[in-house]
Amino acid sequence: MSSPFPSHTEYQRRDLLLMSRARNYAAWQRDLVAPWLGRRVLEYGCGLGNFTAALLDRELVVACDTEPEFVDTLRSKFPGRANLEFFSGDTLSPNFPALAQHCLDSCVCLNVLEHIPDHQQALQAIADVLAPPRRIVLLVPAFPALWGPIDRRLQHARRYTRASLADVAARAGLRARTMRYVNVVGFFGWWINARILRLEEQSAAQIDFFDRAIVPVMARVERIVAPPFGQSLLAVLESTENFT
């Protein structure tokens, strides 16, 4: 008998499609992340390409994902792009170190590190294929207290605090150039969904309202005042050799 629940890949695809509706949120992510990236970028965990389009002004983008069907979708979405390469696999793949031949200068990893059991190994392997200062820009879910059914179904291994992310970065030979919480309103929304409503998946209506009514205001406010907590944690990591 087949399971009444979608597979993890199908659930993740549905979640990515829901988030693709949030155009203001995507623009906010771009504004937060893009200034830290160089001209030759590894996008580790590209998914369905919700952020890839924001990188296509770069000299080279290597879009990487563990789900081959996501990579195939991305090939179809951006055909004939001379500055876009694809890699199907993860940091444990035997041919992952060969990505160093692309002379990559930075990596963006949005809402991916929390899925990886050995996140220290992943950070070390990513840093190894980058040129100094081996810059990795991360966006990860924040605060274990926000853990809920959606985290479980997305197969998140953890949610982070500044201290826990700084610790794993240090063990991987990296230090934070900057680290800050973002999306303070989302903190309360995620807590309500996780702890009170116990939602199993994100709501299209919630995403649309949040994107239309909340994000434009919150993005402007957080540009001026960094919040003391938030739904997510933004970090820019570089190799410790860059700090000596």
CA distances from 17 to 21, 131, 199, 203 (A): 7, 33, 17, 12
pLDDT at 3: 42
pLDDT tens column, 86-117: 999 999 999 999 999 999 999 999 999 999 99
pLDDT at 48: 94
Pull the structure tokens for residue 217. Answer: 């205001």
- Architecture label for domain 8-243: 3-Layer(aba) Sandwich (3.40)
pLDDT at 131: 97
95-107 b/e (C-beta count within 10 Å ≥ 16 → b): ebeebeebebbbb
Sequential pLDDT tens for the chain (244 residues) = 334 446 778 999 999 999 999 999 999 999 999 999 999 999 999 999 999 999 999 999 999 999 999 999 999 999 999 999 999 999 999 999 999 999 999 999 999 999 999 999 999 999 999 999 999 999 999 999 999 999 999 999 999 999 999 999 999 999 999 999 999 999 999 999 999 999 999 989 999 999 999 999 999 999 999 999 999 999 999 998 877 6
28-43 b/e (C-beta count within 10 Å ≥ 16 → b): bbeebbbebbbebbbb
Q: For the chain, what are the domain ranges?
A: 8-243
pLDDT at 5: 47
